[in-house]
Amino acid sequence: MALAFGLFSLNSGPCSYPETAGKIARAAEDAGFDSLWCGEHVVLPDPQAPPSPMAPLDRILDPVVALTWCAAHTKRVKLGTGIIILPQRNPLVLAKELASLDVLSGGRLIFGVGVGYLEPEFRALGAPFEDRGKVTDEYMAAMRTIWSERAPAFAGRFVSYSKIQAHPQPVQQPTPPIVIGGRSAPAFRRAVSEGHGWYGFGLDPDAAAQCVEGLKRAAGEVSRPAHLGKLEISVTPRRGAVPDRAAVERYAALGIDRLVLLPRATLDAAGLESFVADTQRELIGRF
């Protein structure tokens, strides 16, 4: 399988403005990127404090809304949430939003999900921080049910429903591809047992190698349903310039399937266009 390339941050920085987001989405698709990705923070701590990755006034659009905008400006490229912080969301509202995106895009959604890590964000949203892993597992199950079953019903600790319908269901059945983010042992196990893929953010080749080993350990601890197929591994290298070929070869040798590139934060719209063009020239189609 050839190494695919995605482009991160289609909902922040210059791409938080509609004209730039549309232009970069089209340029990335034309250049051969296989996917566009958006992260998420509903709110940000003010003042900024570790581990918050963003300043309080940094612009970041809702990922589903931003990807819907990108869908309207493209035809083929996949649209990934990298990631949505699931325990902060109402699972049925989110299921409706994501199904709508999958329908409007013609079945191009990749649902990247994580448990989150910023306690102030959870507190502000009234979401349970300590139980976020258990909530995530239950919400994913509830969303899979509403997306695929003819008479959906679910009974859990954090969400329960019956005698309801939500249509249209996603184009991709029984669910869009689900990609699990995170570097913890529970995240690795969740990816192996429940995900079509795993996503690691901000990893150099050495850190990516450690995560690949973590996924291998998890595969020895939990079973993987046959219908999920091969676990697809996506990695975002550390923010910066287009990776050199030697680094890309190291990722490929580890079995990474997709590199989701994150340009420097200082780039303006013209700089992002150059980043896309440089990636096409140096990397796309060469691995």
The pTM for the full model equals 0.97
Considering the four listed CATH numbers 3.30.2290.10, 2.170.120.20, 3.40.190.10, 3.20.20.30, the one that applies to the domain covering 4-178+239-282 is 3.20.20.30
On whether the CB atoms of residues 146 and 165 are closer than 8 A, the answer is no
All structural domains of the chain with their residue ranges: 4-178+239-282, 179-236
Look at strands 154-155 and 160-161 and give their pairing. antiparallel
Tell me how crowded residue 56 is: count the other CB atoms within 10 A of its CB.
11
* pLDDT of 1: 65
pLDDT digits (tens, 9 = 90+) for 221-278: 999 999 999 999 999 999 998 999 999 999 999 999 999 999 999 999 999 999 999 9
Helix (H) or strand (E) run with residue 246 in it: helix 245-253
Query: Nearest 5°: CA angle at 8, between 203 and 104?
Result: 135
* pLDDT of 49: 87
Residue reference for tokens 């993987």: 224
On whether the CB atoms of residues 239 and 282 are closer than 8 A, the answer is no
* pLDDT of 235: 98
* pLDDT of 20: 98
pLDDT-flagged residues of the chain (< 50): none
Q: Fill in the amino acid letter for 174.
A: P
